[in-house]
Structure 1
Amino acid sequence: MTAAYTLYAKPGFAATTIERLCSEARISNRAFYECFGGREELLQALHERCVDETLAAVAKALQDAPSTLAARVQAGIRAYVEFATADWRRARIMHVEVRRSGDVLSLSRQRAVDAFARLIEEASAEFPQPARLNRRLLTLGVIGALQELLIEWLLADEQPETEELVGVAVHIFGRSLGAT
């Protein structure tokens, strides 16, 4: 798992062979196949671990935040961005490699988006909804915006500061959810 965490982040899932994974991990191909059905299964396990850890960090931040929508938006976004960017490999697996892997992680990616959407919906449910917009679709839209901000952080020639990411994401979420 540790070898895959680094190799799947860079050079990336597509460029990482089982032989390279096994060599890096100092295990035999046979030992690998005793644990995983293939490199796709390993990528899914890594992605799900990253998502679960990030969900836990965001849920804790939301639980500890003051009970205003603006405070929850700020706390949740900050927790997500700081946790995701604390280890570039985590951010890369969750936001770049998950897309580059094609159908390999499409179901896992959808489950992750759904879990984050439910977390946002629960954290904002007690507050009035802006306009007459579908809360679920609005939530999916702001999740997409945050994902694109993190992809920019990962791939830009001039990497934006994480504080900039937090500020922009808080603005988008706040406006969209009616917190500002």
Structure 2
Amino acid sequence: MAAHTDPPSTPRRPWRGVGADERQARRRAQLVEAAFTIMGTEGAAAVTMRGVCREAKLTERYFYESFSAREELLVTVLDEVARQAKAVLEKTLQDSAPAAGDLVRPVVRAFTEFVTADPRRGRVLFVESLAAPELAARGGELVAEFTATIAQALRSPGLAGEDADDRDVALNAQAVFGALAYLFQDWLSGRADIGRERFVEHVAQVIEQLARVTSVPLPR
């Protein structure tokens, strides 16, 4: 009896010079951008599979080509915006010279520019990541990642109090993140009616004050 052999698989042919994998990657990017638009303007609750496909101008069958569920797409959008924001923070921290005496203001200014350049970013980062139940777990993980970056900055010379220990720095980093989240929420929504330069200066001073808080020498 002859051994059974599977027929050779049909190669995925390029279409108009674009390979199948690249076409799929483009469709995925369209879906992410569409979800970002809806999430950043109407909120995570408004993101549906049909709505995203309609915004992306793709048929619904392509949704499950890239995402197993709506929740996976929401997390992908949040991750992408957070990745961009973190890159801005890290680059500015790297480029800013602590010896110049002002590390905080360049970072606050760069981050403010990032969220105001596209208002959708601010809503995804400061509203939906904290309010949408589907994003609660990932949002908590991202808070930990951002506070770690903030803690690194707070250890810079001249920022932390002279007697501050690692516990002080960790607690202060969490306080800074919480303060920034609510300050940016209010300012981006228009509730805090002040200009950009005053806002940047106010946020910078809040960070500087929080960075110096220490509970040493109280016991752990």
1:172 aligns with 2:206: yes
| Residue 116 (structure 1) aligns with | 146
Aligned-residue offset at 1:165: 2.4
- Any unmatched runs of 5+ in structure 2? 1-31, 213-220
Amino acid at match of 1:113: V
1:155 aligns with 2:189: yes
Q: Which protein, 1 or 2, shows the higher relative CO under an 8 Å CA cutoff with sep ≥ 6?
A: 1
The 5-angstrom pairing of residues 12-51 of structure 1 reads 12-51=43-82
Q: Could you say if the C-alpha distance between residues 147 and 70 of structure 1 is closer, same or farther in structure 2, counting changes exceeding 3 Å? A: farther
TM norm structure 2: 0.73
Amino acid at match of 2:33: T
**Residue of 135, 138, 143 corresponding to 1:105:** 135
Equivalents in 2 of 1:87, 1:143: separation in Å? 21
Structural RMSD (CA): 2.2
1:145 aligns with 2:179: yes
| Residue 62 (structure 1) aligns with | 93
Point out the more displaced range, 124-133 or 134-143: 124-133
Task: Tell me, yes or no, if the aligned pair for 1:81 and 1:165 is still in contact at 8 Å.
Answer: no
Q: Could you say if the C-alpha distance between residues 159 and 17 of structure 1 is closer, same or farther in structure 2, counting changes exceeding 3 Å? A: farther
Equivalents in 1 of 2:85, 2:79: separation in Å? 10
Equivalents in 2 of 1:177, 1:170: separation in Å? 11
Amino acid at match of 1:138: N
Amino acid at match of 1:107: A
**1:134 counterpart SS class:** helix
Equivalents in 2 of 1:76, 1:137: separation in Å? 20
Equivalents in 1 of 2:153, 2:192: separation in Å? 33
**1:14 counterpart SS class:** helix
| Residue 79 (structure 1) aligns with | 110
Q: Could you say if the C-alpha distance between residues 164 and 20 of structure 1 is closer, same or farther in structure 2, counting changes exceeding 3 Å? A: same
